[in-house]
Structure 1
Amino acid sequence: MLRAAPFIKRIGELKFRHNCSLQLAELFLTEMTKIFGASEILGILLTSEVVLEAASRGVFEIVDLCLKYFPELLWNINFVEKLEKEIVEGRHVELRRLLIGHNAVRCFADNDPSEGMTKLNTLIKWSPRCISPDVSGAAFLLQRELQWFQAIYVVASSYKWLKFQMHTKTPWEIFVERRKELFKEAEQWMKDTSTSSSLVATLIITIAFAAAFTVPGGNNDSMGIPIFLNKGSFMVFAVADGFALLSSVIATLMFLTILTSRYTIEDFLHSLPRKMVMGLTFLMLSLASMLVAFSSALTIILSERFKWIYIPITSLAASPIVLFAILQLPLYIEMVESTFWPRLYRPIKLWK
């Protein structure tokens, strides 16, 4: 009899409890609606703050379920303002996408002066609730904050009105002032990461350049042509080594561009994250290509004596790639998505 590993069993049990809780909540709403009527349940949801509490904790499923059964909740302006406040304070991206999907964009783009101060205070304040576990590094956390600011304050006239009323600073100036520490951490994180990564890329350039002139098996003394030129493994080695060299050069240029950047806070929205993602992408490609070149070189040297040598070599070369996929790939995907296709701007499709 097969037994699941302990951590797989825990994940399964957690998922089962999650589904049961969601089904119980859905059953409760359905049965209570039949007993008391939709209008009374709607009033309870508006006065009990159950939905607002779920939104405060980022429980997407409960909010989605309540809006699915009672879309009339979004007709109450006071409720919508409170719901928006909880979503913005907790930086709950999926809940904002849900509201956009329910055609509640006006909640985030409303240009009514009477609501300007409330939205300003909600957005610009900084607290531990703003830190998301799916963000890799301080630079991408600052990027997420800038995306929130851009998503909510999309109308320039609101800036002018708030500055006129407050007689001190614009929302942008207050936003930047309250994130000085985060900005310093983001700048230091970007510089440290670029320095370390450029060092690795430089080492790969050195190794790949040297390997191009010291090919496996050596060259023919009279012609200077590689001895194993006609072997398929040699062509794999040549292509992989060349690709590793070019990729590492591009990665180094990207990291040097980051190191020489002017480092304004606006650069952390698009410019610096894109360069970092591209630099890391080419660095990983160069590492993978270097492993392929190393494996093909060993195969060329040892295949004459050990015909089966390519099997363990391939397995060993693939192990670092598998290890990276397990440890870093989720954060890397989140980094790429946040930079090139941020979820914050994409509404959830309610009807497919």
Structure 2
Amino acid sequence: MTLTKEQDLKLNSSLYEAMMNEDDAKVIKKCQEIPKGPLHTLTIHEDTVIHMAIYQKKKDLALKLLDMVSTCDNHKLTWQNSGGNTILHETATNNSTVEVAVEILRRAPMLLNMTNKEGETALFYAARHGKTNIYKFLHDAVGRTFDGPDMKIFLNRDDGFTILHIAILSRNYWIAHDIAINHAELIGEKDEDDMTPLQLLSTIKPEFSPKSLFKRIIFKMIDADDVDILHHAFFFKKWKKEKHACDSAMKLAVLLIKADTSWETTESWTDNRGSSFHEYGKVMSSTAKLEQKITTIPEINYHKPETPLLLATKNDSTEIVEEILKLYPQAVEHVDNEGRNILHLSILYRRYKIIDVLEGMKYPLDRLRGRLDKKYNTLLHMVAQKVDELKEDVKHPALELKEDQLLYQRVKKLCTALDTSTRNSDQKIAYEVFTERNDPIRTQAKDWMCENAKNCSIVAVLIATVAFTSAYTVPGGPNEEGYPVLGNKPMFLLFTLADAISLSTALTSVIIFLNIVTSPFRFKDFASSLFEKQVTAFVLLIISVAMMMVAFAATLVLTITNQETWSDMTLYGASFFPVIVFVFSYLSEYQKIIKDLYRKLKKMIMENIAVIFHKIWDYKPQSTHPMDRTVSSTSHLFV
């Protein structure tokens, strides 16, 4: 019996509603009443009822619907929706329908190698969705049936995209690692954009370890392969899954890095010559050479991807950079199509951890520091530039200028003396470019700091006024002799100390804020003292507010306390609540300052330890030759 269009629409509406309401009995009943049964196309994308049941993870319903299909109609299970997906493809979208996939393949094994319109088999589809359990089952099923050249249909899509590429993009690193082990020939395969699996991994910045210290400690306590831990502590399930993903990502990265040697093919850095070191003579010579070089290159609308090392640098994947340089330290000399090496890019993209890694590699650092890109930019020129994506990281202008100034000073120590006078293709030295690019930021920083200093000065003066007044209107008042009535109580001493500290810190912060307002706001001031002055003034202002609250709390306890503990606790809580809110508002800024100081202190300690060990273990008797004595006396400077 053929249904009319009106009847079909009404049936589909009823079935779809039943599916959404999880009314399995109604769905089965409806399927029993129509000619095609569970193979009836339900959606506008030509999904059958079985398609929908599997997609909605209804394992029991899907198995019952399959039982309604007679053995002689098993060939009809190969129906494909408008996207070409079979019902086996739908099982690949979740891990709870493995039993359904077993039954489907028992009835229609030909579904295993059927592809959708993108050329993806069900196995490929499982890797796309990152579903581990169904991937294992389908991979084992394929391995039992196909081998050799017949495996290509399961590993490659029509556009050349491999199953390893799609597994990496799905962020299921266990599946990607399993594919890389079992199908090593895919490690070097490129997609239609010439991207290898390692290049893709370098661009997505996988998490190899948690950023939180607490999580790192927990991860050390968790065995990712221990299945019994879930029975003892169920709340560890999420952390166990995250640790498993981190471990799998690191294993995958190491495996791919060992097989990747793309850095061996590189652009030539010796072509980047012709820069000038002063403004006289043929000032356009370097620009003309650059234009001549560009005109000799045919115009191609194609952006060739960089090597994994440079991609990892751009995307701040420090772990991948470290692993590549550990296995292939010579890869550090690779340059991209613009002539920039890893040190250029790490400065341009502000990858401070990668700069730390490169600073620890003394010999490669000597090789990199004097290189120029194709526009004759030195490392110092890179400090003045900033990629667009970093501009989205909103910071107040003073902090941004301070960080750039500190980076400039840091990079200047790495560069040769010649780099400070080297002119790029625009005939500008690095400091000229730096000042031009940062002059608008300096104007913003000046306005920002002056406005904040003025506003905070008003607050500090008000606090000082209140503290000064409180010193002469003590709680309880004076006695006949002029001494405070409550002077013998402990809380009175606390009130006196808190009021004195509040007054002195408020006045000190006012002096510092006035010093900021009258500052010349030179570039070097932001890196040296200006920002520290503002932070110090803020800290003093917070201390002043906090001590004012302490004095307020002490006054309340002295005057209206009823000797009840709960009353005193309530008074302290009400008094200190504004202080807590105020401190936490600026807590993130203080964390950055502390981390910066810790990094500098750690680096200084490590450098001193290295110098001491060098003197102890590499000690040699002093030579009688004057030149030998000179070399020996200055060798420690290069440690």
Structure 1 residue 341 displacement after superposition: 5.8
Between the aligned residues of both structures, percent identity stands at 23
In 2 relative to 1, CA 97–132 (structure 1 residues): closer, same or farther, beyond 3 Å?
farther
In 2 relative to 1, CA 21–97 (structure 1 residues): closer, same or farther, beyond 3 Å?
farther
In 2 relative to 1, CA 65–330 (structure 1 residues): closer, same or farther, beyond 3 Å?
farther
> Which amino acid is the alignment partner of residue 351 of structure 2?
H
Question: How do 1:127-166 residues align onto structure 2 when only pairs under 5 Å count?
Answer: 127-131=387-391, 133=393, 137-154=396-413, 157-159=417-419, 161-162=421-422
In 2 relative to 1, CA 19–75 (structure 1 residues): closer, same or farther, beyond 3 Å?
same
Counterpart Cα distance in 2 of 1:329 and 1:51: 36
Whichever of the two has the greater Rg, that structure is 2
- Which residue pairs with 1:272 in the alignment? 530
Please give the secondary structure, in 2, of the residue aligned with 1:309: helix
Q: Is residue 243 of structure 1 aligned with residue 461 of structure 2? A: no
Structure 1 residue 103 displacement after superposition: 3.8
- Which residue pairs with 1:311 in the alignment? 569
Asked whether the equivalents of residues 349 and 386 of structure 2 are also in contact (C-alpha less than 8 Å), the reply is no
Give 5+ residue unaligned stretches, structure 2. 1-214, 216-235, 266-305, 607-639
Q: Is residue 89 of structure 1 aligned with residue 356 of structure 2? A: no
Question: How do 1:177-326 residues align onto structure 2 when only pairs under 5 Å count?
Answer: 177-220=436-479, 222-304=480-562, 306=564, 308-326=566-584
- Which residue pairs with 1:4 in the alignment? none
TM-score (norm 1): 0.79
Structure 1 residue 85 displacement after superposition: 2.3
- Which residue pairs with 1:22 in the alignment? 246
Residues 147-197 of structure 1: CA deviation (Å, up to 9, x unaligned):
11111123573255415x879543212210111211111111111111111
- Which residue pairs with 2:295 in the alignment? none
Counterpart Cα distance in 1 of 2:325 and 2:457: 49
Asked whether the equivalents of residues 549 and 579 of structure 2 are also in contact (C-alpha less than 8 Å), the reply is no
Q: Compare 281-290 and 13-22 and name the one that shifted more.
A: 13-22
Indicate which of 109, 113, 123 corresponds to 2:383: 123
In 2 relative to 1, CA 215–22 (structure 1 residues): closer, same or farther, beyond 3 Å?
same
Structure 1 residue 16 displacement after superposition: 6.6
Counterpart Cα distance in 1 of 2:256 and 2:399: 44
In 2 relative to 1, CA 258–156 (structure 1 residues): closer, same or farther, beyond 3 Å?
farther
Counterpart Cα distance in 2 of 1:326 and 1:61: 32
Indicate which of 240, 257, 261 corresponds to 1:43: 261
CA RMSD of aligned residues (A): 3.5
Please give the secondary structure, in 1, of the residue aligned with 2:520: coil
Q: Which has the higher helix share?
A: 1
Counterpart Cα distance in 1 of 2:527 and 2:577: 35
Structure 1 residue 291 displacement after superposition: 0.9
Question: How do 1:341-352 residues align onto structure 2 when only pairs under 5 Å count?
Answer: 346=603
Counterpart Cα distance in 2 of 1:344 and 1:104: 24
Asked whether the equivalents of residues 454 and 513 of structure 2 are also in contact (C-alpha less than 8 Å), the reply is yes
Counterpart Cα distance in 2 of 1:293 and 1:332: 25
Q: Is residue 328 of structure 1 aligned with residue 559 of structure 2? A: no
Please give the secondary structure, in 2, of the residue aligned with 1:320: helix
Structure 1 residue 311 displacement after superposition: 0.5
Q: Is residue 171 of structure 1 aligned with residue 430 of structure 2? A: yes
Aligned length: 327
Counterpart Cα distance in 1 of 2:589 and 2:243: 26
Asked whether the equivalents of residues 73 and 79 of structure 1 are also in contact (C-alpha less than 8 Å), the reply is no
Counterpart Cα distance in 2 of 1:333 and 1:227: 44
Counterpart Cα distance in 1 of 2:517 and 2:556: 37
Asked whether the equivalents of residues 238 and 293 of structure 1 are also in contact (C-alpha less than 8 Å), the reply is yes
Structure 1 residue 139 displacement after superposition: 0.4
Structure 1 residue 14 displacement after superposition: 9.0
Residues 124-146 of structure 1: CA deviation (Å, up to 9, x unaligned):
2244344484x852101101011
Q: Compare 301-310 and 135-144 and name the one that shifted more.
A: 301-310
Residues 13-52 of structure 1: CA deviation (Å, up to 9, x unaligned):
997776444312222245558xxxx4xx251466662232
Residues 214-256 of structure 1: CA deviation (Å, up to 9, x unaligned):
1111111x21111100111111110000000111111111100
- Which residue pairs with 2:333 in the alignment? 77
TM-score (norm 2): 0.46
Structure 1 residue 200 displacement after superposition: 1.1
In 2 relative to 1, CA 208–172 (structure 1 residues): closer, same or farther, beyond 3 Å?
same
Counterpart Cα distance in 2 of 1:14 and 1:258: 49
Please give the secondary structure, in 2, of the residue aligned with 1:145: helix
Counterpart Cα distance in 2 of 1:118 and 1:277: 33
In 2 relative to 1, CA 181–167 (structure 1 residues): closer, same or farther, beyond 3 Å?
closer
